Structure 1
Amino acid sequence: MSTFNSRCPHCGGVNRVPTERVCESPSCGKCQEPLLDGKPIEGTSLNYHAILKSDLPIVIDFWAPWCNPCVGFAPVFEDVAANFKGQVRFVKINTEVEQQLASEHQIRSIPTVKVLKNGQLLDVINGALPKSQFEQWLRSALSK
């Protein structure tokens, strides 16, 4: 059985998640909060491909800590993640740390947000948006 480690977005605890159980909405062993829903999770080379197997659509924010628009967009991304809890899985990938994933997705500018469903790209947008515009874009992307 293959597993990956995922940091809890609520308490920061590290949890080992069997890849076969990603679709079962695993909870944190420490705080019992959902590991993969309600807040953006940290995407890494170790958990990314398992997350892609999710039944839910995935919204990925490619960002970097030195990027002011990325830092300003982070609260918007987190608020929208809370609004779509249980409907969409939100992932943040730090392009400085996960350069291989950024390269795999051909990220040329940040922030870049991609929406995938069943591993297929539905839509992509470059740049930060206000919350209402981001939600509108996301709803449109999910309806494709």
Structure 2
Amino acid sequence: MPETLKLVCHACGQANRVPRDRLAAAPKCGVCGAPLAAGKVAELDPATLAKAIRDDLPLVVDFWAPWCGPCRQMAPEFIKAAAALAPAVRFAKIDTQAHSEVAARHRIQGIPAFILFHKGREVARAAGARPAADLVAFVKSKLAA
């Protein structure tokens, strides 16, 4: 029997089971039909983020705010990194201005800030705008450790 992964749909928050060997086949949510590992960056709300950080796939979260210049500069690079690491790693972002309680819970002191989560725990964090290649290397180095 193939190994299955638990993935929370970033669109509707529903938990899904996906066979690991089907990740590259563009799995979709069983409830809403949204792609589960398409290499896109999802904007999450606090409730969905709380569920998604416990997924079986690593999740990189960008803590950002609309008024932050470096955050806006980083957005296209974050999108490139998401595409480069798909489907093995998922990417999401959360607006710290709209959801300041999430920023406080995760001890965000400056933005943009990136936290790599895997199976419910924080694996690593980084801060500051950076090229996509640097973010990809950061994620790969932390997951290899």
TM-score of the two chains, using structure 1 as the length reference: 0.79
1:5 Cα deviation from its structure 2 partner: 8.2
Q: Percent identity?
A: 31
User: Normalised by the size of structure 2, how large is the TM-score?
Assistant: 0.78
5+ unaligned residues in a row in structure 1: which ranges? 8-15
Q: 1:27 to 1:107 in 2, by over 3 A?
A: same
The structure-2 alpha-carbon separation of the partners of 1:101 and 1:132, relative to structure 1 and needing over 3 Å to count, comes to same
Q: Do the aligned residues in 1 keep the contact of 2:37 with 2:86 (CA within 8 Å)? A: no
2:129 aligned with 1:128: yes
Paired with 1:44 and 1:131, the residues of 2 have a C-alpha distance of: 24
- More moved, 48-57 vs 66-75: 48-57
Match of 1:26 in 2: 28
Q: Which amino acid aligns with 1:18?
A: Q
SS in 1 for 2:116: strand
CA gap of 1:80–1:5, structure 2 versus 1, over 3 A, is closer
Q: Report the AA paired with residue 84 of structure 2.
A: N
- Give the number of equivalent residue pairs: 130
Q: 2: distance between equivalents of 1:71 and 1:28?
A: 33
Specify the alignment match of 1:85 in structure 2. 86
Unaligned runs of 5+ in 2: 1-7, 19-26
2:37–2:87 CA contact under 8 A, matched in 1: no
Amino acid at match of 1:26: K
> Would the aligned equivalents of 2:116 and 2:125 in 1 still touch at CA under 8 Å?
yes
Deviations 1:55-74 (CA, angstroms, capped at 9, x unpaired) = 10110100001101000000
Question: Please, what is the CA RMSD of the aligned residues?
Answer: 2.3
Partner of 1:45: 46
